[in-house]
Amino acid sequence: MALVLAPRWSFLLVRGIASVAFGVIALAWPGVTLAALTILFGAYALVDGVTALVVAARRGRTRHRWLLVADGLLGVAAGIATFMWPALTLLVLLFLVGARFFLSGIFQAATAIALRHDLDAPLLYGLGGLASIALGVLTWIVPGVTARVLLTFLGVYAIFFGIAMAILAFRLRRFGRAVTPRFA
- pLDDT per residue over 61-90, tens digit each? 877 788 889 989 998 998 898 889 887 877
Residue 59: pLDDT band with limits 50, 70, 90: confident
Q: Report yes or no on whether pTM surpasses 0.85.
A: no
Task: Classify the C-alpha dihedral 149-86-158-73 as positive or negative.
Answer: positive
One-letter amino acid at 49 equals G
Q: Tell me the HSE value of 48 on the side-chain side, using a 13 A CA sphere.
A: 24
Q: What is the mean predicted confidence (pLDDT) over 119-128?
A: 84
Q: Is residue 131 predicted with pLDDT exceeding 60?
A: yes
Which pLDDT score, from 0 to 100, does residue 30 have?
A: 64
Alpha helices of 29-142 — where are they, by DSSP H?
Answer: 34-59, 65-84, 86-114, 122-141
Residue 78 Cα to chain centre, angstroms: 12
CA distance 129 to 28: 33
pLDDT band at 35 (very low <50, low <70, confident <90, very high): confident
Average pLDDT value for residue range 153-173: 89
The number of beta carbons lying within 10 Å of the beta carbon of residue 66 is 10
Rounded Cα–Cα distance for residues 130 and 107 (Å): 10
